[in-house]
Structure 1
Amino acid sequence: MTAPWWQQDAAGMAQAVAARDVSATALVTACLDRIEQTDARVNAFTAVLRARALARAARIDAGLAAGTQAALPLLGVPFAVKNLFDVAGLTTLAGSKIERDRPPARADGLLVQRLEAAGAILVGALNMDEYAYGFTTENSHEGACHNPHDLARIAGGSSGGSGAAVAAGQVPITLGSDTNGSIRVPSSLCGVFGLKPTFGRLPRTGSFPFISSLDHLGPMARSVRDLALAYDAMQGPEAAAAHTDAGCAQRPAEPVAHDLETGITGLRIGVLGGYFADNALPEARAAVARVAQALGAEAEPVELPLVEAGRAAAFLITNAEAGALHLDNLRTRAADFEPLSRDRFLAGALIPAAWVARAQRVRSRYAHEAARVLSRYDLLLAPATPCAATPIGTERFNLNGRDLPLRPNMGLLTQPLSCIGLPVCAVPVWGAHASLPIGVQIIAAPWREDLALRAATVLEAAGICRAPIAIL
């Protein structure tokens, strides 16, 4: 029996639309119906663009009938974006109450435009932590996003809606942002594939900022090939006349989808120990062990020097930049922030400039040490989260005998990597926890996303990593 179209991955959907085995309209309608049937329980979407999506699908179908529509890599594939991406006609909320007063965006964000240029069809905007500051997507303005694999548990954050929408079978591809772990944490907890590219690889024009020196944008998906197709579609420099993102490296596109099956023969793969093992519960360590064995990683743990200092520096930089960004609203509309966000932003606004300067020096030194480690290894492995998804409303958790606040510490293992801009693919492992997925980070040197995705492809082919659609 053939599975319903909404259960296919994006690559399979695009091939079917190009071959006219299914119309783009039927495909989009199936995904819109799935959203309508499931989102009251998941709460992944904050806006559904039914009319826009169906109109675009009809244009694709008409072009195919006339023989004028090219067979694009994501032809007819529905996707959705975290609600900090600009979408023409929608107010860019960034998970907040305050931004609701802004006028609607005049144009789609650049990465939205690039995905649609590759044939994809935008169907909506997604739930997130307020101003991307959190790891649980328990948003007080929109309501908590629920993990599709256990609706009583968190989806992770801050791109929680992006992870949940893929896991729920609502769309095969979503876009998220990752400043301190906000793609990798929900990928881990929702059991989907996620890619945080090298800092500066993808332009951020047309997205609401959190921390300009740390913000990354990237895809989340149902399969590794979907991740690669979306990533390839979004690569490349901004047009010179429109170049507004100072953090964009303006690097030429380096496509990866055609090399996914190259394998990992000859690659030297290490497992990060020390800090990364100490801050992981048994299920997270077990997931890494399964991945390490499948990839033939070296048994001796690898130490990453200055990792704790690097994370501390990232915390200071995050709070200081966020406090400065939101200072005006903190003075005039403090009551409209979520309490936890408000308190952290206020604290950040009080951090002395000398502390921030010192944090940037520590960050630079830590990046140098990480580069030395990556000169000896092609890939490194680490847990993506300390534990599997926790119940919604959990305030604290026990991490190897330490009682810690949950919300900041779900990013314990991701923050030290994003603060130095390394590319990371998060892959979902089942079986390490009794009933839930948990992710592993595959870390590469800058600009070597291809190696991380090749390793992820090996794991997916072996059945070690997979992203099944939740039963809802």
Structure 2
Amino acid sequence: MIDWQSKGFEIAAAVRDGRTSATEAVQVALARIEATNPALNAFTAVTADRARAKATAIDQMRSAGRPLGPLAGVPFAVKNLFDVAGLATLAGSKINRDHKPATADAALVQRLEAAGAILVGALNMGEYAYDFTGENVHYGPSRNPHDPARMSGGSSGGSGTAVAAGMVPLALGSDTNGSIRVPSSLCGLFGLKPTFGRLSRHGSFPFVADLDHLGPMARSVTDLALSYDAMQGPDAADRWCAQKPVAPSLPSLDTGIAGLRIAVADDYFAATGEPEAHAAVAAFAKALGTDRRVTLPEAGRGRAAAYVITASEGANLHRERLKTRADDFDPATRDRFFAGLMLPTDWLVQAHRFRAWYRARVAEVFREVDIILAPATPCTAPKLGQVMMTLNGVEMPVRANLGLFTQPISAIGLPVVAAPWADRAGQLPIGVQVIAAPWKEDLALRVARHLEKTGIAASKAV
């Protein structure tokens, strides 16, 4: 039997060997959504009829003795910037409600369903993905299941809420500056931001073309690896993903960490943040048997470059909407876009030049180590509506600084697994970034799996 706490790989195994059916798995998910979503506000659309039809088809395949995919019967949901046939692609906005429904699913939705997973709906998010909080003025905030008075994190807040609350075992999000890793940390989940260009972005509403990543969030590393492997492969419709070969991660997932050179990010990543953030990193380092420390040179400026690129390119994407429908934006989002439109062009040019320099310097660090550990967020989940937070005696805006530690990593497209620290009984979750060199997702997943097996990293539905 399965229940709402079951992991995706457990559901798929039970469907394949007949201990349960895909139909039952979908009914469990739909019942959990009905029971918990009204209070937590993760979903903007539930595709119940579609899910039941897909489940019936899978059950018929099994009855006929046909082989089932590795994710057979696993319910999943997607951030509402993914195209879903029959739904308008909201991207968290009021303006996009006027768009015609999508006529086809996004590439990653198609690939997950080809592996047997079953889409059950679209998820709430920060407007146009320009958000770290999970709050949305048009659709309401996605609430943190560990404490509904607190933020889920953003911009993939609905994804974090849905998985942490057991509505689905697997969800897709996007990550431009930290939008998978921040909600994973605040909601106590495993999340994968792959290398820039690894997974197709075709059929997703863009934010910043030079920084956007798509990836999964789950309550187990095995689910991350299964879904990641199912979504891999070149896609001519996404020029950054056009030539990327498949690099399976699952076969090496449980091979351990012997021989891996692991270090902790120092300097910028150790200079601020709540004690819990650094205690989590220290616990992971101890479990991995390392006291080595490394510096990512000029990480702070790397973050600054990401800010300039995000503001300028994100704003230019929305230039016409800002001209004609400015009042239909969240004022906070609108004002940041307006500011982005006023940035001098040479600032953007210099930001890209610096990013190239920074990428080359970090590549030199990865000649000496295989994995780098860093905090995922500087704090646990702030309260909904909280504007400022105090870190090391300094007041900082919440919305901007929840991505303090994630932006310098996504700025150069490194693969990261966000992993939840397990030593949090009765406390709010917080996570750690397990960072690898480009195209080495398998190493980050191996380390996260080792931490999960030893019990230092763990996630559970609440």
TM-score in terms of structure 1 length: 0.97
Q: Which structure 1 residue ranges, 5 or more long, are not aligned? A: none
The 10-residue stretch of structure 1 (343-352 or 432-441) with the greater mean CA deviation from structure 2: 432-441
Q: Which structure 2 residue ranges, 5 or more long, are not aligned? A: none
Q: Partners in 2 of 1:323 and 1:16 — Cα distance? A: 47
Q: Partners in 1 of 2:304 and 2:240 — Cα distance? A: 22
Q: Residues 399-427 of structure 1, C-alpha deviation per residue, up to 9 Å, x if partnerless?
A: 11110000010000000000100000000
- Per-residue deviation, 1:432: 5.4
Q: Partners in 1 of 2:68 and 2:146 — Cα distance? A: 34
Which residue matches 1:172? 169
Q: Contact 1:53 / 1:123 at 8 angstroms: preserved in 2?
A: yes
| 1:96 counterpart = 2:93 | yes
Which residue matches 2:279? 286
| 1:49 counterpart = 2:57 | no
| 2:52 counterpart SS class | helix
Q: Residues 77-114 of structure 1, C-alpha deviation per residue, up to 9 Å, x if partnerless?
A: 10000000000000000000000000000000000000
| 2:215 counterpart SS class | strand
Question: Which one of 138, 143, 151 corresponds to residue 140 of structure 2?
Answer: 143
- Per-residue deviation, 1:278: 1.2
Q: Partners in 1 of 2:65 and 2:198 — Cα distance? A: 35
Which residue matches 2:200? 203
Q: Partners in 1 of 2:200 and 2:171 — Cα distance? A: 16
Q: Partners in 2 of 1:336 and 1:347 — Cα distance? A: 17
| 1:247 counterpart SS class | helix
| 1:469 counterpart = 2:461 | yes
Q: Contact 1:287 / 1:432 at 8 angstroms: preserved in 2?
A: no
Question: Which one of 211, 214, 218 corresponds to residue 215 of structure 2?
Answer: 218
Q: Partners in 2 of 1:349 and 1:249 — Cα distance? A: 30
- Per-residue deviation, 1:66: 1.9
Which residue matches 1:350? 342
Q: State the AA in 2 paired with 1:180.
A: N
Which residue matches 1:386? 378
Which residue matches 1:62? 60
Q: Partners in 1 of 2:238 and 2:16 — Cα distance? A: 34
Q: Partners in 2 of 1:67 and 1:266 — Cα distance? A: 43
Q: Contact 2:61 / 2:68 at 8 angstroms: preserved in 1?
A: no
Q: Partners in 2 of 1:196 and 1:66 — Cα distance? A: 37
The 10-residue stretch of structure 1 (80-89 or 6-15) with the greater mean CA deviation from structure 2: 6-15
Name the CA shift for 1:54/1:434 in 2 (closer, same or farther; >3 Å). closer
Which residue matches 2:5? 7
The 10-residue stretch of structure 1 (274-283 or 441-450) with the greater mean CA deviation from structure 2: 274-283
Name the CA shift for 1:447/1:105 in 2 (closer, same or farther; >3 Å). same
| 1:80 counterpart = 2:77 | yes
Q: Residues 96-152 of structure 1, C-alpha deviation per residue, up to 9 Å, x if partnerless?
A: 000000000000000000000000000000010000001011100110010001111
| 1:6 counterpart SS class | coil
The 10-residue stretch of structure 1 (418-427 or 273-282) with the greater mean CA deviation from structure 2: 273-282
Which residue matches 2:396? 404
Q: Partners in 2 of 1:270 and 1:301 — Cα distance? A: 5
Q: Residues 141-200 of structure 1, C-alpha deviation per residue, up to 9 Å, x if partnerless?
A: 110010001111100000011111110000011000000000000000000100000000
Name the CA shift for 1:180/1:433 in 2 (closer, same or farther; >3 Å). farther
Q: Residues 434-468 of structure 1, C-alpha deviation per residue, up to 9 Å, x if partnerless?
A: 61110000000000001110001110001111111
Structure 1 residue runs of 4 or more that deviate by more than 4 Å after TM superposition: none
Q: Residues 263-313 of structure 1, C-alpha deviation per residue, up to 9 Å, x if partnerless?
A: 11011100001111112210000000000000112x243111011111101
| 1:123 counterpart SS class | strand
Q: Contact 1:79 / 1:122 at 8 angstroms: preserved in 2?
A: yes
| 1:273 counterpart = 2:266 | yes
Which residue matches 1:324? 316
Which residue matches 2:293? 301
Q: Residues 209-264 of structure 1, C-alpha deviation per residue, up to 9 Å, x if partnerless?
A: 000000000000110000000000000101xxxx2222225211011111111111
For the aligned residue pairs, the C-alpha RMSD in angstroms reads 1.0
Which residue matches 2:178? 181
| 1:208 counterpart SS class | coil
| 1:361 counterpart = 2:359 | no
Q: State the AA in 2 paired with 1:315.
A: Y
Q: Contact 1:306 / 1:369 at 8 angstroms: preserved in 2?
A: no
Q: Contact 1:188 / 1:439 at 8 angstroms: preserved in 2?
A: yes
Which residue matches 2:28? 30
Q: Residues 307-331 of structure 1, C-alpha deviation per residue, up to 9 Å, x if partnerless?
A: 1111101000000001100000101
Q: Contact 1:193 / 1:221 at 8 angstroms: preserved in 2?
A: yes
Q: Contact 2:58 / 2:68 at 8 angstroms: preserved in 1?
A: no
Matched positions, count: 462
Identical pairs, percent: 60
